[in-house]
Amino acid sequence: MWYALLVLLYAPLAVVVVYSFNSVNSSADFVGVSLRWYRALFADDTILAAAWNSAVLALVSSMLATAIGTALGYGMYAHRARRLGWLIWLIYLPIIMPDIVYGIAQLSFFSRLAAATQIFDLGLGTMIIAHVSFQAPFVALLVYSRLVGLDPRLFDACSDLYANAWQRARFFILPTLQPAIVAGFFLALTLSIDDFVISYFTSGPESVTLPIFIWSAIKRGISPEINAIATLMIGTVLAAAAITLAFQYVRHRQSGE
Amino acid sequence: MTQPSSPTVSPDTADNTPRADTAIRLRGLYQAFGADAVALAGVDLDIPAGSFFTLLGPSGCGKTSLLRVIAGLDTPDAGTLHIGARDVTRVAAHKRNVNTVFQSYALFGHLDVAGNIGFGLRMHGHDRATINDRVQKTAAFIQIDNLLGRRIDQLSGGQRQRVALARALVNEPDVLLLDEPLSALDAGLRSRLQLELLRIQRRLGMTFVFVTHDQDEAMVMSDYVAVLNEGRIEQVGTPATLYERPANPFVARFMGHANLFAIRARDATGLTTDFGRLAGEFARADHVLIRPEIMTIHAADAPEVASAGDNVIHGRVRERLYRGSRMEYTVAAGETELVVVDDNRGQGMFEIGAGVALVMETTGVVTLDG
């Protein structure tokens, strides 16, 4: 039963990876191993531009989301005892909202904003804002769960040992949160690379990313080049996920104090 | 609240300059978390410099609140606090020369042992050489210099306790605060560390303020003990004073006295209580306290009983506890029960239901109000 499930999960991915190395343009016959489609990929300017857009979008949005999410997570912890503290949990709305609804909402919001201000034209800028808005809650959740797992006396110990607010953040809070922050960054990176729906609605003509390129290319049929792109994306996301897990592991070890 | 009888408390508020030998002076400290949760209900206390001073009381009595106010981690709603000659009531925790050993130790998991011990010095802006030197010396003094490179999660409970102590002592504070630092340890380690803490305090001559709910621990370790109840100080004094001359029934019961009886009537020749009559001259009071050690237990027909005179209580054994070095009996007498202990000299035990006589020295009987 479990094996059947694994096959169901991994067989389609395996097909993509295997056929990306096919030496002929066929999705039926596997003739020989070749890097021909990868070479074609790196010679195609449209694909390279889309890859560049994806990379810029993923890196910039993840860095912003990590900074904002860390601050949010700390804020949720610091204000958790307040009467209206629960309001901050509203930031989790993007997590449970269907992507399609969220994407449409972002599109209509940014269109109106663009019409009113003339500066929020749909493009990489609006995509970054949209991505940050759904990445930040995930980072905040990681940071928050690290903080609630700490002995609250640790904060007292900092003050007791002469640390002012700045020193407390620099020498205690940030180093203690580091594993959660790094894990949050790589999680944000994976989410951004993965995302198609929200990107699609908030992108402009000049900001095609890899998922959007694949979607438009696939209308003309699945080419081996698409398999090659997909394989590279699988590799990137797996690497980011592995790093996230590695830092989560460190986090668990440290909280065993 | 009974007016404390000890010289360590001088609530004469006219005198506003702390004496040179006073490490901490508290006046009228009040703190409440909402209307129903009064943590400190007006505390006046002088803690002598260089003493091992214990705050003792049941959980929720305000002892930890008091410690947090001294540390600066909480600000009182009213009252003043002097450390040495300085009024620190409104001074932030990180600007007070006071350090705390927390009940949970609160060691930093992202730093090794040396990093933990040196944390306060680092925040104070000392240079690396000074920090290393002082961390080394303190670690050697606490005998943990072999642990300096270890991570915190590699330490045992006793080792963590020592690291927490070193992390506080290395800063050479005016006052060291200890919040039930031994409560997480097993009994054997605990009594060893009690002696060690006491030795460290004596060698440094530093003022230690120690919080505990364990009256045995308080008695063994302290120069002075303040008993707290519901945010107030019930009594301050040496362990002997608290045990032998408790100011009120709360202190008496908290110090482990079971034989506390209301006085029903008093005349020139003695007292009447629930267990019967007690002959002798006693001061006017509400309660009489008979410590188990001042009584001896005998068979009802033993020759010592006949020659004992007036103060003999007859009764029957209701319960007995064998404790190895001694036996503990609960004896039913009159309308009540008394607890008495008998050293085990191989004389055997009284059976439950046996008729016994308790002979007592009236000089050891204490009367108290409240």
| pLDDT tens-digit series, residues A217-244 | 888 777 788 888 889 888 988 888 888 7
User: Shortest CB distance from B71 goes to which of A158, A160, A176?
Assistant: A160
Contacts of B51 (CB under 8 A, 6+ apart): B23, B207, B208, B223, B224
**Which contiguous run of DSSP H or E holds residue B355?**
strand B355-360
Write the pLDDT tens digit of every residue in A128-167. 999 999 999 999 999 999 999 999 999 999 999 999 999 9
Sequence spans of domains, chain B:
24-249, 257-368
**Matching CATH number, B257-368, of 2.60.120.10, 2.40.50.100, 2.70.98.60, 3.40.109.10:** 2.40.50.100
Considering the domain boundaries, does residue A42 fall inside one?
no
Q: B73 vs A163: CB contact, 8 Å cut-off?
A: no
Greatest Cα-to-Cα distance within chain A, rounded to the nearest angstrom:
71
Size of interface A-B (CB pairs under 8 A): 75
Nearest-Cα residue of chain B relative to residue A176:
B110
Residues of A in contact with B98 (CB under 8 A): 160
CA–CA distance, B206 with B204 (Å, rounded to integer): 5
Q: What is the mean pLDDT of residues B210-214?
A: 95
Q: Which residue on chain A is closest to B117 by alpha carbon?
A: A161
The DSSP symbol for B4 reads P
**What does the pLDDT look like over B276-315, one tens digit per residue?**
888 888 888 899 999 888 889 999 888 888 777 778 889 9
- Per-residue confidence (pLDDT) for residue B96, from 0 to 100: 95
Nearest CA in chain B to A179: B110
For chain B, give the mean pLDDT: 89
User: Which is higher by pLDDT, A65 or B19?
Assistant: A65
Q: Which residues pair with B340 in a beta bridge?
A: B329
Q: Following CA atoms B335, B341, B345, B346 in sequence, which dihedral angle do they give, to the nearest 10 degrees?
A: 50
> How far is A171 from chain B, CA to nearest CA, in Å?
9
Q: Which residues of A touch B92 (CB under 8 A)?
A: 159
- The predicted-structure confidence for B66-106, as pLDDT tens digits, reads as follows 999 999 999 999 999 999 989 999 999 999 999 999 999 99
pLDDT of residue B20: 58
- Selecting from B95, B110, B123 the residue whose C-beta is nearest the C-beta of A175 gives B110
Chain A residues inside the 8 Å CB shell of B108: 154, 157, 172, 176
Cβ neighbours of B155 in A, within 8 Å: none
Condensed to tens digits (0 to 9), the pLDDT of residues B124-141 reads: 999 999 999 999 999 999
Contact at CB, A172 and B108, closer than 8 angstroms: yes
Within 13 Å of residue B199, how many CA atoms lie on the same side as its CB?
Answer: 8
Query: Which residues contact residue A72 at a Cβ distance below 8 angstroms, ignoring those fewer than 6 apart?
Result: A88, A91, A136, A137, A139, A140, A143
Give the CATH superfamily of B24-249: P-loop containing nucleotide triphosphate hydrolases (3.40.50.300)
Asked whether B94 and B133 are in contact (CB, 8 A), the reply is: no
Winning range, highest mean pLDDT, from A5-9, B146-150, B272-276, B323-327 = B146-150
User: Are B94 and A163 a contacting pair at CB < 8 A?
Assistant: yes
Q: Where are the beta strands (DSSP E) in B156-269?
A: 175-179, 207-212, 224-229, 232-237, 260-262, 265-267
Question: Which residue is closest to A156 within chain B, CA to CA?
Answer: B73
Q: Other CB atoms closer than 10 Å to residue B181's CB: what's the count?
A: 24
Nearest to A157 among B106, B110, B152 (CB): B106
* Whether the predicted pLDDT of B8 surpasses 80: no
**Rounded Cα distance, B61 and B305, in Å:** 44
Share of chain B above pLDDT 70, in %: 95
A75-79, A83-87, B195-199: range with lowest mean pLDDT = A83-87
Q: Pick the closest to residue B46 from B64, B19, B77, B73 (CA basis).
A: B19
Strands B98-101 and B175-179: parallel
| pLDDT above 50: residue B335 | yes
Average pLDDT score over residue span B316-320 = 94
Indicate the residue of A161, A163, A257 with minimum beta-carbon distance to B109: A257
- B77 vs A32, residue with greater confidence: B77
Nearest to B123 among A151, A156, A161 (CB): A161
Closest CA to B370 of B269, B239, B254: B254
Q: Is the pLDDT reported for residue A255 higher than 70?
A: no
- Interface predicted TM-score of the whole assembly (ipTM), two decimals: 0.84
Is there a contact between A161 and B171 if contact means CB atoms under 8 Å apart? yes
Name the band, by pLDDT with cuts 50, 70 and 90, for residue B39.
very high
pLDDT of A252 reads 58
Q: Is residue A61 part of a domain?
A: yes
Contact criterion met (CB < 8 Å) for B123 and A256: no
What pLDDT shows up at residue B321?
92
Helices and strands (H and E) in chain B: how many: 10, 21
Q: Is residue A162 part of a domain?
A: yes
Q: Is the pLDDT of residue B7 over 70?
A: no
Q: What is the CATH number of the domain that holds A54?
A: 1.10.3720.10
The secondary structure of residue B310, as a DSSP letter, is: S
What is the total count of domains within chain A?
1
Nearest residue in B to A167, CA atom: B123
Contact call for A156 and B123, based on CB within 8 A: no
Q: State the pLDDT at residue B319.
A: 93
More confident of the two residues B298 and A95: B298
Closest CA–CA distance from residue B108 to any residue of chain A (Å): 7
- At CB < 8 Å, which residues of chain A contact B? 151, 153-154, 156-164, 167, 171-172, 175-176, 178, 253-257
- Go through A128-156 and write b for each residue having 16 or more CB atoms within 10 A of its CB, e for each that does not: bbbbbbbbbbbbbbbbbebbeebbebbbb
**Closest Cα in chain A, distance from residue B93 (Å):** 6
Please provide residue B333's backbone torsions phi and psi, each rounded to the nearest 5 degrees. Answer: -145, 130
The pLDDT assigned to B205 comes to 93
Residue A63 lies in a domain: yes
With a cut of 70, say whether residue A38 has pLDDT above it: yes
Q: Which residue of A has its CA nearest to B176?
A: A160
Name the residue range of residue A138's domain. 47-224
Average pLDDT rounded to a whole number, residues B320-348: 90
Contact A53, A208 (CB under 8 A): yes
* Coil, strand or helix at B304: helix
Among A160, A167, A249, A255, which would you mutate to test the B interface (most chain B Cβ atoms within 10 Å of its Cβ)? A160
**Tens of pLDDT, residues A102-130:** 889 988 888 888 888 877 778 888 899 99
- Out of A159, A175, A255, whose CB is closest to B73? A159
